[in-house]
Structure 1
Amino acid sequence: MKDDVSQIQSVGPRAVEQLEAMGIKTVEQLLEHFPFRYEDYAIRPIHEAQHDERVTIRGIVHSEPTLRFYGKNKARLTVRVLVDGLLVQAVFFNQSYLKKQINLGDTITINGKFDRNRLMISGGTIKTAKNSQAGELEPVYSIRGNLKMTTLRKFINNAFQQYGDQIEETLPEQLINMYRLMNRQETFRQLHFPTSATQLVQAKRRMIYEELLLFQLKMQMFRKWERQGDEGQQKVFSIDKVKGFVQDLPFELTQAQKKVLKEILDDLQGPHRMNRLLQGDVGSGKTVVAGCALYANALAGFQGALMVPTEILAEQHKASLQDLLAPLQLRVELLSGSARVKERREILAGLVNGEIDVLIGTHALIQEGVDFKKLGLVITDEQHRFGVEQRRILRKKGLRPDVLFMTATPIPRTLAISAFGDMDVSVINEMPKGRKPVETRWGKPDMLPRVIDFMKRELGKGYQGYVICPLIEESEKLDVQNAIDVHQQLTQAMPEYRVGLMHGRLSSEEKDDVMNQFAENSVNLLVSTTVVEVGVNVPNATVMVIYDAERFGLAQLHQLRGRVGRGQAQSYCILLADPKSDVGKERMKIMTDTNDGFELSERDLELRGPGDFFGAKQSGLPNFKVADIVEDFRVLEVARQDANKLVNSEAFWKSEDYGKLRDRLREQGAFQGEKLD
């Protein structure tokens, strides 16, 4: 199975190059290049076919095929076929060679998209009576370059003939029997050469479970090693003092906040290093929970660090945490990239001698020369915005500090289990009392005058608003509203109000200046790009208008909407969008239907898929060959539970029954103890 593909019959030097370009170098890699879909040649009566459905029909050629050329190297071939007593027009694009293969009176099978209104089928593939089989499932593979599908199928067929009996079982008999799984050799056979739809379903079921189990085993092994080889710093502090701190807050914590705080405090007091992900919707109160954790950490004699993605957010966290912790004689400082030399020197000295209890900052925290006397707790906010390496460097600043990752981007449970399988996951799924849901409306761009009138009414009541645009300046490539033009337009439309402008090209000082003016209500309306997406807190803002809203993902739209609704007044989010795609329309509908970030994230995942949810480089998710963590989340749950039991059992590590499974994991680098990302 490790043989080079050149050992397969009919694979010559040119084919070797073509396969290598697809990442296929060995026989095993070729046999694991599974189809991504199957053409179903099961014949159905024409009267059962639905409009716009992909169907397979069989009929007799009723007219000579006609061929017309148009444009540059484009061809359209048309032929009428008698199917179940109806004359159906079959159309094939850019397949002029078919004219010689189709003869009057031939019986042919066509697979294509059916237009019921015009009795027409747009043919993708065609078979003559000689090579057509009713009920046949034909695999469709991803291919690259000049390699033809028929050629690849031939290579895979030859590889299976030569090496099929070498496909070894990897799963232990116990699991195969428990779930009644197909054996591995037959699974490969059915995936490449399915004999029936039922057999194909069983083969997919087996491979999905195998892929997800291997993935979860890697995650669980990493988690086990993290705990065994990296004992934490057990923190000793007065739980009564922490309870007193919580009772003295000017508001009561929600039940969800209390539950999450208990989980974090238990971790701090426990012998193992905390590695926890805290998910909480926009405005759910994660910062207060972080403040409580930092207080407990300080009571135990340790320093804390909070890393955030932007300086604006760092400033806001400093203000919030100083309000919480300064009355308790804890020193909270901010270290940013724009700090003056003298100020920076004083902060660094205060860190080393232990005078600073909590340090907040951007990626400046992980630069060389930033050293702590006794770092015990590291918190990263909006953790998916930091690279894996950045988070690792900050963790190494202390002696095995506890780590808490926070995100206001609600991650679907499916992805949290997968991408963060090595972490404990806490969720704040409850909003503070008195919060009114933001009313969301979807309007077409021609409704802008009415939207401007609505904004004026809100500003006239003393409230403020945001207007978000996708681009900074005009672009020839994208016909979207841009911040500079919109700023000018709204300044002219509302001369009685002050309209501010903020975007990513401003310096940190300029951004801070604009945001401070907005926070103080000397700027009434802020026109901005998405730099306000994360963490900006202005309770007096009640209106959020988003231009070209169809260009944003659901998670980002929800983050932007979360900038309003932070005070007691009713708030509004207006989506100006004219989406052409069904996905765009679906996004607008979902946004107006729900304010629940977790529900939105699940729907976003369905629309976009896991690779786009985090950005591929950040996700830590492998490219599964058959499995889909969205579609197969139930199998994922089962695989996670099985992996946890196996990793914590002696048999998995020692028994011969699991030998092949261990070999497979070893091949994939799981025993190096490195996390997937």
Structure 2
Amino acid sequence: MEIKLDQIKGVGPSLLHAFRNQGIWSTYDLILNYPKSYEDFSITSLEHVKHKDIITVQGIITTELKMSRYAKSSPVSFKAKVLNETIDVIAFGRGYLLKALQKNDEVVIKGTYDLFKNQINASSVIKVDKKVPIKPLYKIEGVHDKTISNIVSTIFNEKQVNIFETIPQTLINQYKLLPRLEAYQKLHLPNSFDDVEKARRRFKYEEAFYLQLKLVSNQPSSHQRPPKSYDIHKVKDLIHHLPYELTQDQKEAVNDIFRDFKKDVASYRLIQGDVGSGKTLVSLLAIYATITAGEQVSFMAPTELLANQHFQYFSNYLKDVKIALLTGKTKNKDILKEKIKNHEYDLVIGTHALIEKDVVFANLGLVVIDEQHKFGVQTREELIEKSNSKDIIYLSATPIPRTLAMIAFGNSHVSIIKEKPKHRIAIDTRCITKNQIQRMYDDMHSAVIRKEHIFLVVPAITSTKVDDNIETVYDEIRNEFTAPIFVLHGRLSSDEKENIMEQFIYTPGSILIATTMIEVGIDIPTATLIGIYSAENFGLSQLHQLRGRVGRGTLASVCYLISEKDDLERLTLLSNTNDGFRLSEYDLVSRGPGDFLGVEQSGYLKFNFLELLKDYPILIEAQKNVRELISKPDFKTNPAYKYLNKYITESLKI
């Protein structure tokens, strides 16, 4: 039973109005509205800090202070622990700190935060008295922090709130976690920062536990099936006739899949292949092995263009395999569907058309879903449900931070391909400002003469918020070049998009101006230059994906990032690395989870305490605990199961 705030001593009409404006109606609401920060400590963690934010933090110096005698201004540097995080601190022109401070001193640090270096460029470093009382800061408009603390103290002292336990007691004991009620008390009324840290540790695990409970419940159910009786000799013969030797990462991914096939339960696996790493080749071997076992395979691609590309790709390598293409444009669909039902086709490649109810397989043994995050959960499940004993392979060329992939799919169900084939040439990435655009134009003229393809990407079709859009860039390019120019964006019909892409592909020396819809899968070996306008509007992972549209063959390729000067520091990361997984981790920190996993994660990937990268050990422990918990026959009577929906809607504020 909830206790309304108007029943609490000290809460009058004006306070009640201020609380209700913040969505706080009961004592439970107020307790869940924990302090945003504490006195002299403007943030409780670095989780939500953006690059170049001015911040003030309180921490403990963990290393000896050092001064560089060779750098300009002789900066003093040291490391400091801020709650559970260690950051680098550098202070220019403050040599006096060498005598004023030492290791283990508690200090208040104010300065500019560098996200990519996890470093504060300090404007001040002040030693503080460790006995200074901690004052919670709630930042609720119209209400003094002291007033809230007094009300919260009254609520706890008079037991006017019901805080139920949400984690099995065995796990609380195992990890020495605070009970939920005590954790909230320490967040609101701490005696030390150690109290705050203990409370945060409890809630980090709680969020990790319920995230894993949600994710594990979304994973495909395991169905018993005999081990696949594939013909390993035929598979080895196919590998022998490939034009390139498999990279070590590809070999390990193939071995992962074949180990899955040897089990007596159907498996699911995420194959993550960075741009140009050859994940499709890995799926080719899995598909062929399944076909040699006498089973059918369905391969679903997000667009007709990609489905066509895959059809050509697999037809080239699997010349003796009967392959069908099923898309919205397929003629005589009824005849084709009847042949699929009669197992006259071994491999069926298609788009959403594959999930139509009258598409029935005789013996579907493997489902491959390309760019799985591009499909809705329901679409994927409808294809998967066409067979209860099939294996599932999800392909993703979008680098997902390893942490996210492991927590979502489980450590044993993820294969990562980072190594690029030896014949691939690294893409030259250059950061320029708009007034340096002629550099790109000069390279474009040369590419047109060589009859190579050029991509130009803009953030919008038409917009008053950005100067670079389809209309403005088209006008600029039309005045500069006589080469054929094509335009592609989301307002065109599916047929128009397909026709434009086909014309572009088959017109050497042409230019395509497009929105980000070209970021995935388009494979044109003669595409050697891409220019990305207003690059400050894109995350690093998305820029990396767009960059991957060039350099698909053996020709030297270049990517131009056109942005404002204050964004060049971030974009330099892209210039210095071709590792999409590293870039995705920067995006995870600076932009949030986004659509990395392709599930309805907008809710359950919003956390108040948990940090996906830094708290990886907590996530893995929680995953292990959840798997053990749900394997027990009495799981559905467990309080954790009963509390799941209530927790997600209330505690995570979803």
TM superposition score normalised by structure 2: 0.78
Do the aligned partners of 1:40 and 1:135 also contact (CA within 8 Å) in 2? no
Check if 1:456 corresponds to 2:445: yes
Check if 1:331 corresponds to 2:322: yes
* SS of alignment partner, residue 257 of structure 2: helix
Q: Which residue of 1 aligns with 2:98?
A: none
- Relative to structure 1, is the Cα distance of residues 622 and 493 closer, same or farther in structure 2, using a 3 angstrom cutoff? closer
Do the aligned partners of 1:314 and 1:334 also contact (CA within 8 Å) in 2? yes
Do the aligned partners of 1:31 and 1:160 also contact (CA within 8 Å) in 2? no
> Paired residue for 1:254, among 247, 257, 265?
247
Higher alpha-carbon deviation: 236-245 or 424-433: 236-245
Do the aligned partners of 1:41 and 1:136 also contact (CA within 8 Å) in 2? no
Q: Which residue of 2 aligns with 1:511?
A: 497
Q: Which residue of 2 aligns with 1:595?
A: 578
Distance in 2 of aligned mates of 1:635 and 1:136: 30
1:446 deviates by 0.7
Q: Which residue of 1 aligns with 2:256?
A: 263
Q: Which residue of 2 aligns with 1:125?
A: none
Do the aligned partners of 2:8 and 2:155 also contact (CA within 8 Å) in 1? yes
Q: Which residue of 1 aligns with 2:406?
A: 417
Q: Which residue of 2 aligns with 1:487?
A: 474
Do the aligned partners of 2:166 and 2:643 also contact (CA within 8 Å) in 1? no
Check if 1:207 corresponds to 2:183: no
Check if 1:366 corresponds to 2:355: yes
Check if 1:136 corresponds to 2:128: no
Check if 1:536 corresponds to 2:522: yes
1:22 deviates by 5.9
Q: Which residue of 2 aligns with 1:283?
A: 276
- Relative to structure 1, is the Cα distance of residues 398 and 523 closer, same or farther in structure 2, using a 3 angstrom cutoff? farther
Amino acid at match of 1:375: L
* SS of alignment partner, residue 39 of structure 2: strand
Q: Which residue of 1 aligns with 2:194?
A: 198
* SS of alignment partner, residue 545 of structure 1: strand
Check if 1:640 corresponds to 2:623: yes
1:161 deviates by 2.2
Per-residue CA deviation, residues 435-493 of structure 1 (Å, 9 max, x unaligned), is 111110000101112211121123323432211122224x3x22322224423432332
Per-residue CA deviation, residues 502-522 of structure 1 (Å, 9 max, x unaligned), is 222333333333322333343
Distance in 2 of aligned mates of 1:23 and 1:421: 37
- Relative to structure 1, is the Cα distance of residues 285 and 113 closer, same or farther in structure 2, using a 3 angstrom cutoff? closer
Distance in 2 of aligned mates of 1:13 and 1:350: 73
1:333 deviates by 2.1
Distance in 1 of aligned mates of 2:635 and 2:162: 25
Higher alpha-carbon deviation: 379-388 or 181-190: 181-190
1:560 deviates by 0.6
Do the aligned partners of 1:374 and 1:399 also contact (CA within 8 Å) in 2? no
Check if 1:558 corresponds to 2:554: no
How is 1:591-630 mapped onto 2 (pairs within 5 angstroms)?
591-611=574-594, 617-618=600-601, 621-630=604-613
- Relative to structure 1, is the Cα distance of residues 434 and 41 closer, same or farther in structure 2, using a 3 angstrom cutoff? closer
1:669 deviates by 4.7
How is 1:127-526 mapped onto 2 (pairs within 5 angstroms)?
135-141=132-138, 153=149, 155-163=151-159, 167=163, 175-176=171-172, 179-220=175-216, 226-227=221-222, 230-232=223-225, 234-325=227-318, 327-328=319-320, 330-339=321-330, 342-421=331-410, 424-473=413-462, 475=463, 477-495=464-482, 497-526=483-512
Amino acid at match of 1:535: G
Q: Which residue of 2 aligns with 1:95?
A: none
* SS of alignment partner, residue 277 of structure 1: strand
Do the aligned partners of 2:447 and 2:509 also contact (CA within 8 Å) in 1? no
Q: Which residue of 1 aligns with 2:37?
A: 37
State the structure with more CA Rg. 1
Amino acid at match of 1:226: S
1:6 deviates by 6.4
Distance in 2 of aligned mates of 1:597 and 1:206: 33
Q: Which residue of 2 aligns with 1:549?
A: 535
Amino acid at match of 2:136: P
TM superposition score normalised by structure 1: 0.75
* SS of alignment partner, residue 334 of structure 1: strand
- Relative to structure 1, is the Cα distance of residues 500 and 2 closer, same or farther in structure 2, using a 3 angstrom cutoff? same
1:400 deviates by 3.7
* SS of alignment partner, residue 501 of structure 1: strand
1:192 deviates by 0.9
Check if 1:667 corresponds to 2:650: no
Distance in 2 of aligned mates of 1:23 and 1:376: 51
* SS of alignment partner, residue 448 of structure 1: helix
Do the aligned partners of 1:220 and 1:422 also contact (CA within 8 Å) in 2? no
* SS of alignment partner, residue 163 of structure 1: coil
1:231 deviates by 2.9
- Segments of structure 2 that go 5 or more residues without pairing to the other structure are 43-52, 59-107, 113-129
* SS of alignment partner, residue 376 of structure 1: strand
Per-residue CA deviation, residues 533-569 of structure 1 (Å, 9 max, x unaligned), is 1100011111111111111111111011001111112
Per-residue CA deviation, residues 234-257 of structure 1 (Å, 9 max, x unaligned), is 432222222222222222211211
1:219 deviates by 4.2
Amino acid at match of 2:306: L
* SS of alignment partner, residue 407 of structure 2: helix
Per-residue CA deviation, residues 398-454 of structure 1 (Å, 9 max, x unaligned), is 234221111111100121123334981111121111211111000010111221112
1:595 deviates by 0.7
Amino acid at match of 2:347: V
Distance in 1 of aligned mates of 2:136 and 2:521: 48
Distance in 2 of aligned mates of 1:152 and 1:314: 59
Amino acid at match of 1:331: K
Distance in 1 of aligned mates of 2:312 and 2:632: 49
- Relative to structure 1, is the Cα distance of residues 195 and 384 closer, same or farther in structure 2, using a 3 angstrom cutoff? same
1:13 deviates by 9.3
Per-residue CA deviation, residues 36-74 of structure 1 (Å, 9 max, x unaligned), is 3323379xxxxxxxx965489xxxxxxxxxxxxxxxxxx
Amino acid at match of 2:266: R
- Relative to structure 1, is the Cα distance of residues 222 and 666 closer, same or farther in structure 2, using a 3 angstrom cutoff? farther
Distance in 1 of aligned mates of 2:7 and 2:599: 34
Q: How many residues align?
A: 574
1:142 deviates by 7.1
Distance in 2 of aligned mates of 1:388 and 1:25: 35
Do the aligned partners of 1:338 and 1:508 also contact (CA within 8 Å) in 2? no
How is 1:87-166 mapped onto 2 (pairs within 5 angstroms)?
135-141=132-138, 153=149, 155-163=151-159
1:202 deviates by 2.0
Amino acid at match of 1:246: I
Distance in 2 of aligned mates of 1:321 and 1:616: 28
Do the aligned partners of 1:463 and 1:524 also contact (CA within 8 Å) in 2? yes
| Percentage of identical aligned residues | 38
Root mean square deviation of aligned Cα? 3.7
Distance in 1 of aligned mates of 2:290 and 2:18: 58
Q: Which residue of 1 aligns with 2:64?
A: none
Amino acid at match of 1:40: D
Amino acid at match of 2:272: Q
